[in-house]
């Protein structure tokens, strides 16, 4: 059985990511673990950590429901604010270890994670193959 770490936030419910999960499921038995970094909401000038965690938890709950409804074996957590820290924490806690990381981002013009080169940095950090899936629009 293959084990995948999915890292996403705003794009978690996007068609592009759901299709990627379905492709992995068609290839054979697998488990997905989602980590949603509790990144600050960009709609407000001020925010609290609790607000960021609540938004991330709502997105996680929606994704878990959607993917389970499609037959996926999936678990998930809200992670650290910084995506790279959330990835490191998830990899340390994983048992068995992940086989691959799937990073889902907004399009380049909207993606803070792409400006930070998150997919490449995640690959260097974990030593695992990283698949980057890109939402078609900012509203996935």
Say what the pTM is.
Answer: 0.91
pLDDT on residue 49: 61
List pLDDT tens digits, range 23-33.
999 999 999 99
What is the pLDDT confidence band of residue 51, given thresholds at 50, 70 and 90?
confident
Tell me if 139 is assigned to some domain. Answer: no
* pLDDT(116) > 70: yes
Q: What's the CATH number where 115 sits?
A: 3.40.50.620
Q: What range defines the domain where residue 60 resides? A: 2-134
Interatomic CA distance for residues 99 and 5, integer angstroms: 8
Interatomic CA distance for residues 81 and 68, integer angstroms: 26
* pLDDT(138) > 70: no
Residue ranges of alpha helices (H) inside 1-140 are: 15-27, 49-69, 83-93, 112-115, 118-126
**What domain count does the chain have?**
1
What is the pLDDT confidence band of residue 43, given thresholds at 50, 70 and 90?
very low
Tell me if 140 is assigned to some domain. Answer: no
List pLDDT tens digits, range 54-95.
989 999 999 999 999 999 999 999 999 999 999 999 999 999
Tell me if 121 is assigned to some domain. Answer: yes
Strand, coil or helix: what is 17?
Answer: helix
Interatomic CA distance for residues 55 and 27, integer angstroms: 32
Classify residue 76 by burial, with Cβ atoms within 10 Å: 0-12, 13-18, 19+.
buried
pLDDT on residue 42: 60
């Amino acid at each position: 059985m293959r084990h995948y770490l999915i890292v996403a936030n705003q794009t978690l419910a996007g068609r592009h990511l759901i299709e990627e999960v379905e492709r992995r499921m068609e290839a054979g038995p697998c488990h997905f673990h989602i980590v949603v970094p509790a990144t600050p909401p960009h709609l407000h000038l001020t925010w609290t950590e609790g607000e960021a965690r609540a938004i991330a938890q709502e997105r996680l709950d929606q994704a878990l429901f959607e993917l389970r409804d499609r037959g996926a074996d999936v678990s998930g957590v809200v992670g650290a604010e910084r995506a790279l820290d959330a990835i490191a924490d998830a990899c340390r806690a994983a048992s068995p270890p992940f086989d691959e990381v799937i990073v889902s981002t907004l399009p380049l013009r909207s993606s803070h994670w792409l400006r930070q080169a998150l997919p490449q940095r995640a690959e260097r950090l974990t030593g695992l193959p990283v698949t980057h899936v890109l939402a078609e629009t900012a509203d996935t």
